[in-house]
Every structure is written in C-alpha cells, then in structure tokens.
Amino acid sequence: MTMQEAYQQGEKLLVQAQIPDARLDAWYLLEHVTGVSRAMYYAMPDKELSEEQADQYSDFISRRAAHIPLQHLTGEQEFMGLTFRVNEHVLIPRQDTELVVEEALKIMESCSEAEYPAGKADDSKKQDFRVLDMCTGSGCILLSVLYHAGKDKKCGNLKMAGTGADISEEALEAARINAELLNIEAEFIHSDLFDAAEGRFELIVSNPPYIRTDEISKLQDEVQGHDPWIALDGKEDGLYFYRKIISGAGGYLSDGGHLVFEIGFDQADAVSTLMRDAGFRDIMVKKDLAGLDRAVIGVYDR
C-alpha cells in the first residue's frame, strides 16, 4: 500500500464516521506512523508503507473512527509550543487553557519589575516566587509557566519554584514524565486540593473540573467517553471546586498573591462573586480567542 492510498482510505473512513477534521486527523496519524513530513509526502506519494506501518495506520484509523481522541492514539499534544505526553488519565490540553498561562506570565513579569524596577538582581537577591497548580493533570499549565518564565527576561528577578497538586496518582505520573522530558524542575504532590500543600505561594493557578454533572453526557464522544470523569465533573452546578479552592486559597497565598482560574464560558459572574466574597480584590475576567469568558483573576491581601 502506498502512502497516498493509505491516506485516502483513512480519510474516507473518518469522514464516514463523522469525525471532525477527518482530513487532518488522517494526515496526522499517517505522519505519526511513518515519520514522513507533508513536504516529503507530496514529493513521493507512491512510497510504499511497510507491512507494520500499514497495519498500525489501519488500527489507528479504526480507533479514531470509534471516536478515540487523536491525542490518545499519538500519546501527545502540543500546548504553548511544547509537546506534552497525554493518556486516558489526564485531560487533553486545550488551546483555550493557554490563556491561563499567558495571564500567569503577565503577573510574574509585573512582580519581577515591581521588585527590581531598575534592572536585574543578582542571584542572591532574587525574589522567591512559588507557583501552585491545583488539579495539575498532565502538568501542562505549571510546566508551561515555568518554562516560558525561565526564558522571559522580564521574569529574571524571580527565583521560581513550582508545585503541581492532584488527587490522581496516574495524572501525577504523567506530569512527572512531562517534567522530565521537558527538563523542567517541579514538585508534584498527591493531594486532595490543599490537604498536602505546604507554605505560601505567590501564584495559584487552576483549571479545575467545571462541567455540570448533567452536562457531561452531552459533550462530544471524544470528551465524555475518554477524558477522565474526575477531570470534568464540577458537580451539580459546576462550581464545587471553585468554592473549595477559593475558600482554601487564602491560607496558602502570600500577601498580594494572585489566583488565576480557567472557567466555563458562562461562569465568570459566579466565580467572580465567590472570589469577591472571600476577600479577593482587583478581580478581572479575561476572554479567549473566541471572545468567550475563559479566565478569572484576583488578588488576595492577608
């Protein structure tokens, strides 16, 4: 079987299965199996697949047609320009969540500049800056923050340390693997929210479960059938984990520390009110690229 024949058959099967982006998925799977770039494919579409490659591609196409997420087949997902290993134990990183990282980096830049407005401090005078990622999953938020802040000259005055907390041991194992592959130093702790957290943090970020329980069954098959339920279910009104995290965050934030949440598109008012009632100030709502409310930020004074 040639690459062109394999691709055309794969695309046809995915279209018949009503897979969104069937053409792209058929291509990504072919590229993953063969290691052949698109430019190389167009240069030699009649290149024969090995028997092993043909069998693997056929298997991947069949599983994708059954609505198994593409990322569970390839085992990876790009996020903030980095490649993360993913599996059935973690929520697949979404582009919308990149907004949380971007806002976290802005906060870190402002803290660094406020501490040393005249320029970079020497290592002995750098400001300690601890980041806690609550419900860390694959670690994509925490590791992206640490990676990009480490390369951002505007964050050069910060002595950064990161902790990811999750109740799922399987998710924590995935996060640790990602940290090792990306060569990023971070601590990952098995914790039911703040139970195992220690000390104070200048920044807490979180993409908690926020889907209402009765809404999960209405999500795409790829989501409700394959993303871990524990990473989706925000209980009856979708706000359960926001209440828990907001009520506990004050005990773990440093004076003037920030809390940054990802939220569902219709949760901005509710989450903002919860934060305001808990003593947070300067609450802001940020929109994603689609113009939907996607993040809420607040500052906590001790």
Q: Which residues are annotated as a binding site for substrate?
A: 207-210
Structure tokens at 50: 């090995």
Structure tokens at 241: 């984990």
- CB burial of 261-276 (b: ≥16 within 10 Å; e: otherwise) equals bbbbeebbebbbebbe
245 class by beta-carbon count within 10 Å (0-12 exposed, 13-18 middle, 19+ buried): buried
Q: Beta 158-166 vs 187-190: how paired, if at all?
A: parallel
Structure tokens at 184: 């990023």
Structure tokens at 220: 């795409």
3-state helix, strand, coil in the chain (%, to 5): 45, 20, 30
* Rounded (5°) CA angle 44-49-40: 25
Calpha distance 188→173 (Å, rounded): 9
Alpha carbon distances (Å) from 40 to 44, 45, 48: 6, 8, 13
Q: Which residues are annotated as a binding site?
A: 166, 207-210
Q: Which residues are annotated as a binding site for S-adenosyl-L-methionine?
A: 166, 207
